[in-house]
């Protein structure tokens, strides 16, 4: 019987292999594929939409699980020399990532407020890098 996605997983362990990456609440490989798809579309995705993709209602107390999986996705991207994807996951209310993204160390340093026009421009630059990467890759795939 397939494992249910709805059961809570523990804190991700460091140095897990590919099969272990998919053992938590949010399967890292599937989350990465979803974010690559959104990058190819040139569109961010809300936290609630990610939860629904995984068949779960949005529950604030489970956002930490999603953030841990996003950190893993970004670590995989950095390891491949690719732009990070977590900036594509945003709050529906203002279109910006949550506090966890701002405090992560993988992206360019930021010392300003986590809201407002300057923050939005900073996020758009990160999102554009991801979208450009995957649209360039899509064009290479289609053209041979």
Residue 106: closest CA among 133, 79, 124, 138: 79
pLDDT band at residue 5 under the 50/70/90 scheme:
very low
Residues 6 or more apart in contact with residue 97 via CB below 8 angstroms: 86, 87, 89, 90, 91, 123
Per-residue pLDDT at 106? 76
Does the structure show a pLDDT above 90 at 25? no
Write out the two tokens for 28: 């890292």
Mean pLDDT of 109-128: 94
pLDDT tens digit sequence for 89-112:
999 999 999 998 998 877 788 889
pLDDT tens digit sequence for 29-86:
999 999 999 999 999 999 999 999 999 999 888 999 999 999 999 999 999 999 999 9
By the 8 A CB rule, do 127 and 88 touch?
yes
Per-residue pLDDT at 132? 96
Residues 6 or more apart in contact with residue 2 via CB below 8 angstroms: none
Does the structure show a pLDDT above 50 at 14? no
Mean pLDDT of 109-123: 94
Write out the two tokens for 91: 């709050």
Residues 6 or more apart in contact with residue 124 via CB below 8 angstroms: none
Exposed, middle or buried: residue 53 (CB in 10 Å: 0-12, 13-18, 19+)? middle
Higher pLDDT, 17 or 4: 17
């Amino acid at each position: 019987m397939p494992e249910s996605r709805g059961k809570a997983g523990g804190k991700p362990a460091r140095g897990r292999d590919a099969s272990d990456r998919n053992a938590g609440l949010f399967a890292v490989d599937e989350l990465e594929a979803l974010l690559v798809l959104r990058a190819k579309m040139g569109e961010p995705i809300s936290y609630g939409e990610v939860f629904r993709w995984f068949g779960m209602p949005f529950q604030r107390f489970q956002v930490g699980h999603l953030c841990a999986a996003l950190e893993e996705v970004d670590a995989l991207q950095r390891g491949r020399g690719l732009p990070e994807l977590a900036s594509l996951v945003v709050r529906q209310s203002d279109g910006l990532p949550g506090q966890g993204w701002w405090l992560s160390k993988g992206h360019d340093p930021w010392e300003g407020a986590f809201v407002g026009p300057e923050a939005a421009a900073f996020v758009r630059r990160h999102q554009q890098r991801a979208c450009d990467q995957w649209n360039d890759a899509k064009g290479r795939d289609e053209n041979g």
